[in-house]
Amino acid sequence: MSQLDFIRALPKAELHVHIEGTFEPELMFAIAQRNQIEIPYKSVEEVKQAYNFHNLQSFLDIYYAGANVLIHEQDFYDLAWAYFEKCAQDKVVHTEMFFDPQTHTDRGIEFATVINGLQRACDVAKVKLGITSHLIMCFLRHLSEEAAFKTLEQALPYKEQIIGVGLDSSELGYPPSKFERVFAQAREEGFLIVAHAGEEGPAEYVWEALDLLKVNRIDHGVRSEEDPKLMARLVAEKMPLTVCPLSNLKLCVVDDMAKHNIRRLLQQGVHVTVNSDDPSYFGGYMNDNFIAITEALDLTTDELKQLAINSFEASFISREDKEKWISKIQNLVV
Residues 39-78 touching Zn ion, rule: CB under 5 A, are: none
Closer to ligand HPA by Cβ: residue 12 or 18 = 18
Residue 141 binding partner per list ligand HPA, Zn ion, none, with a CB distance cut-off of 5 to 8 Å that depends on partner kind: none
| Residue 199 makes contact with ligand HPA by CB under 6 A | yes
- Sign of the torsion angle spanned by Cα atoms 168, 219, 99, 45: positive
26 in catalytic set? no
Contact in structure between 266 and 302 (CB atoms under 8 Å): no
| Residue 96 makes contact with ligand HPA by CB under 6 A | no
| Residue 278 makes contact with ligand HPA by CB under 6 A | yes
Stretch of 25-33, 271-279, 295-303, 306-314 contacting Zn ion, by CB under 5 A: 271-279
Radius of gyration of the chain measured on its C-alpha atoms: 19
User: Closest distance between Zn ion and the C-beta of residue 18, in Å?
Assistant: 6
- Binding residues for Zn ion, rule CB under 5 A, total 1
d(CA 61, CA 232): 36
What lies within 8 Å, CB to CB, of 281 at 6+ separation is: 21, 51, 53, 59, 62, 63, 250
CA–chain centroid gap for 161, Å, is 17
- Give kind and range of the element (H or E) at residue 135: strand 132-140
User: Closest distance between ligand HPA and the C-beta of residue 209, in Å?
Assistant: 13
Size (the chain), residues: 334
Task: Please pick, from the candidates 169, 275, 280, 311, the single residue that binds ligand HPA as defined by CB under 6 A.
Answer: 169
CA–chain centroid gap for 37, Å, is 27
CB crowding 263-287: b at 16 or more within 10 Å, else e: bebbeeebbbbbbbbbbbbbbbbbb
How many Cβ atoms from other residues are within 10 Å of residue 90's Cβ?
22
Closer to ligand HPA by Cβ: residue 11 or 66 = 66
Task: Please pick, from the candidates 12, 94, 104, 196, the single residue that binds ligand HPA as defined by CB under 6 A.
Answer: 196
Distances (CA, A) of 173 to 86, 103, 138, 146, 194: 34, 20, 18, 17, 19
- Of 164, 144, 146, nearest to 155 by C-alpha is 164
Q: Which residue is nearest to ligand HPA (CB)?
A: 168
| Residue 280 makes contact with ligand HPA by CB under 6 A | no
Give the active site residue among 73, 199, 200, 208. Answer: 199
Residue 90 binding partner per list Zn ion, ligand HPA, none, with a CB distance cut-off of 5 to 8 Å that depends on partner kind: none
| Residue 277 makes contact with Zn ion by CB under 5 A | yes
The DSSP string of 16-70 is: EEEGGGG--HHHHHHHHHHTT---S-SSHHHHHHH---SSHHHHHHHHHHHHTT-
Residue 21 binding partner per list Zn ion, ligand HPA, none, with a CB distance cut-off of 5 to 8 Å that depends on partner kind: ligand HPA
| Residue 21 makes contact with ligand HPA by CB under 6 A | yes
| Residue 104 makes contact with ligand HPA by CB under 6 A | no
Contact in structure between 240 and 271 (CB atoms under 8 Å): yes
| Residue 200 makes contact with Zn ion by CB under 5 A | no
Residue window 218-257: x/- pattern of binding to Zn ion, with contact defined by CB under 5 A: ----------------------------------------
Residue window 46-65: x/- pattern of binding to ligand HPA, with contact defined by CB under 6 A: ----------x------x--
Residues within the interface to ligand HPA (CB under 6 A): 18, 21, 56, 63, 168-169, 196, 199, 247, 277-278
Active-site annotation, residues: 199
Q: Could you list the residues that contact Zn ion (CB under 5 A)? A: 277
